[in-house]
């Protein structure tokens, strides 16, 4: 009996010793957990102030500029990854090099008042490696017309009014933002000029600072342009109609031109790495000598070397004589599509050169121009 108790006690002691040894070994080989950088070790972006009011700006005085000064009060270098402006009227200058701890820098905000009468309020978004990663600067002000140049400003007669323009050209507008401009109207008639109704597409917002103007005074229509939904990329032309009491021309049309582009600044590093990659067999087509009244055709191979789907947003032609068609608007990774280009030679003779554009979702080749030339012989 005593022998049995001694054996049992010995087994218990051995098991306890083995468990302690195993626990010790487990603790010894346990991998170290990678620690994230503490917020106290990150760079800190501190501005003297984050909003600036330009006050009243003369519309013809040229661009205005203001410096936003900052300091890196953190313990590691500050990197400004990207600066995003709200519209084409605002641009920035910013340091591309890392700002060391304790270092200072300046972000310049530029605003172009030409063609943008009235109040403005624009955001400038910074993306950095600081905490928080995104900061927003703001500029405001009011653009006033140069009243000493009224004759120069309102130079187009439109019935009993004079206007500064009948066409607003916004240029490139990112699909995630908007742009703004104005239509200036001067009453050159001998009675009040009244606007009864403004008719505009849903993506164009028009506001007026007055409904009626007395003779020899002016008014302003403020126009905000937003890309259409769903987005139509490339050149867009739309119309604004004013219904008025002007007996000489009751309905007055104004045209809006814009080039809507995809905003690739919203892509992060992972998105850029997985982006589609457009690959083309050629961007130039030589049809050579071709007989009159025929419709010659050429082919271009369009392939996707990236990881995400390549989407053909739009094909833009310079004339109806060039007829490009593609068999796939969405090209998956590793796939190839065929772009056929037909040339209609009706009423043509001699040498001719034309172009067309391919708009895609490839950040590095979002707008590609193709050139085609031909010699038409009898």
Strand, helix or coil for residue 378: coil
Tokens 């003297």 sit on residue: 48
22 within some domain: no
Distance CA 99, CA 47 (A): 14
34 within some domain: no
Strand, helix or coil for residue 158: strand
User: Quick one: how far is CA 33 from the chain centroid?
Assistant: 41
The partner residues of 150 in beta bridges, in order of sequence, read none
Q: What is the pLDDT of residue 89?
A: 86
Q: What is the pLDDT of residue 139?
A: 94
- End-of-domain residue from the set 244, 261, 278: 261
Sign of CA dihedral 151, 155, 159, 165: negative
320 within some domain: yes
Its domain, for residue 97, covers 40-144
352 within some domain: yes
Q: What is the 3-state secondary structure (H, E, C) of 275-316?
A: CCCEEECCCEEEEEEEECCCCCEEEEEEEECCCCCEEEEEEE
Q: What is the pLDDT of residue 63?
A: 87
Distances (CA, A) of 356 to 46, 129, 371: 48, 41, 7
Q: What is the pLDDT of residue 151?
A: 62
My answer on whether 154 and 253 are in the same domain is yes
Supply 185's token pair.
């109207």
104 within some domain: yes
Distances (CA, A) of 376 to 243, 277, 291, 367: 49, 36, 6, 29
Nearby residues of 357 by Cβ (< 8 Å), 6 or more positions away: 234, 315, 316, 367, 368, 369, 370
Residue-wise pLDDT tens for the chain (378 aa)?
444 444 444 444 444 444 444 444 444 444 444 345 566 688 999 998 899 988 888 777 788 999 999 999 999 999 999 998 877 789 999 999 999 999 999 999 999 988 787 788 899 999 999 988 899 999 998 887 665 556 667 888 999 999 989 999 998 999 988 898 889 999 988 899 999 999 999 999 999 888 889 988 888 899 999 999 999 999 999 999 999 999 999 999 999 999 999 999 888 889 999 999 999 999 999 999 998 878 899 999 999 999 999 999 999 998 888 999 999 999 999 999 999 999 988 877 889 999 999 999 999 999 999 999 999 988
15 within some domain: no
My answer on whether 246 and 281 are in the same domain is no
My answer on whether 151 and 257 are in the same domain is yes
Tokens 């490839």 sit on residue: 362
Strands 51-58 and 134-144: parallel
The partner residues of 238 in beta bridges, in order of sequence, read 256
E strand or H helix at 153: helix 150-153
User: Quick one: how far is CA 205 from the chain centroid?
Assistant: 19
My answer on whether 273 and 244 are in the same domain is no
Distance CA 142, CA 119 (A): 4
281 within some domain: yes
Whole-model pTM: value is: 0.65
Q: What is the pLDDT of residue 150?
A: 60
My answer on whether 232 and 157 are in the same domain is yes
My answer on whether 154 and 137 are in the same domain is no
CA atoms within 13 A on the CB side of 96: 1
Nearby residues of 210 by Cβ (< 8 Å), 6 or more positions away: 219
My answer on whether 280 and 311 are in the same domain is yes
My answer on whether 137 and 210 are in the same domain is no
25 within some domain: no
Sheet with 167-174, strands from edge to edge, namely 167-174, 251-261, 234-244, 193-199, 212-213
> How many domains does the chain fold into?
3
E strand or H helix at 22: helix 2-29
Q: What is the pLDDT of residue 116?
A: 81
My answer on whether 274 and 345 are in the same domain is yes
Distance CA 224, CA 243 (A): 19
- End-of-domain residue from the set 232, 261, 290: 261
Sign of CA dihedral 20, 24, 29, 32: positive
Tokens 């323009």 sit on residue: 165
My answer on whether 257 and 305 are in the same domain is no
**CATH code for the domain in which residue 240 is found:** 2.60.40.10
My answer on whether 287 and 335 are in the same domain is yes
Burial class for 290, CB neighbours closer than 10 Å (0-12, 13-18, 19+): middle
Q: What is the pLDDT of residue 263?
A: 92
- End-of-domain residue from the set 98, 115, 144: 144
My answer on whether 325 and 343 are in the same domain is yes
């Amino acid at each position: 009996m005593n022998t049995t108790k001694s054996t049992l006690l010995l087994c218990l002691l051995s098991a306890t010793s083995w468990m302690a040894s195993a626990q010790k070994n487990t603790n010894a080989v346990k991998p170290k957990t990678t620690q994230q950088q503490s917020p106290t070790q990150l760079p800190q972006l501190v501005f003297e102030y984050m909003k600036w009011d330009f006050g009243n700006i003369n519309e013809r005085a040229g661009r205005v500029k203001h410096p936003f000064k900052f300091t890196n009060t953190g313990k590691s270098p500050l990197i400004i990854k990207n600066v995003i402006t709200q519209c084409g009227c605002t641009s920035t200058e910013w340091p591309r090099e890392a700002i060391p701890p304790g270092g200072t820098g300046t972000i310049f905000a530029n605003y172009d008042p030409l063609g943008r009468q009235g109040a403005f309020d624009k955001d400038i978004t910074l993306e950095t490696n600081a905490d928080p990663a995104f900061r927003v600067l703001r500029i405001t002000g009011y653009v006033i017309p140069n009243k000493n140049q009224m004759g120069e400003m309102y130079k187009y007669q439109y019935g009993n009014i004079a206007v500064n323009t009948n066409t607003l050209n916004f240029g490139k507008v990112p699909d995630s933002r908007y742009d703004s401009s104005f239509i200036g109207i001067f009453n050159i008639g001998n009675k009040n000029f009244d606007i009864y109704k403004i008719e505009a597409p849903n993506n164009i917002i028009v506001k007026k600072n007055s409904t009626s103007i007395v003779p020899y005074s002016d008014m302003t229509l403020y126009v905000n342009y937003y890309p259409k939904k769903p987005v139509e990329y490339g050149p867009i032309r739309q119309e604004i109609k004013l219904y008025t009491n002007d007996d000489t021309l009751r309905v007055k049309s104004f045209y809006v031109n814009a080039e809507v582009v995809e905003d690739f600044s919203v892509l992060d590093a992972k998105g850029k790495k997985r982006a589609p990659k457009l690959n083309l067999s050629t961007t130039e087509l030589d049809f050579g000598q071709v007989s009159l009244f025929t419709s010659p055709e050429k082919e271009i191979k369009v392939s996707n070397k990236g990881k995400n789907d390549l989407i053909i947003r739009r094909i833009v032609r310079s004339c109806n004589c060039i007829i490009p068609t593609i068999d796939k608007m969405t090209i998956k990774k590793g796939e190839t599509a065929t772009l056929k280009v037909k040339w209609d030679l009706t009423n043509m003779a001699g040498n001719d050169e034309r172009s067309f554009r391919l708009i895609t979702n490839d950040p590095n080749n979002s707008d590609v121009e193709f050139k085609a030339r031909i010699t038409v012989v009898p």
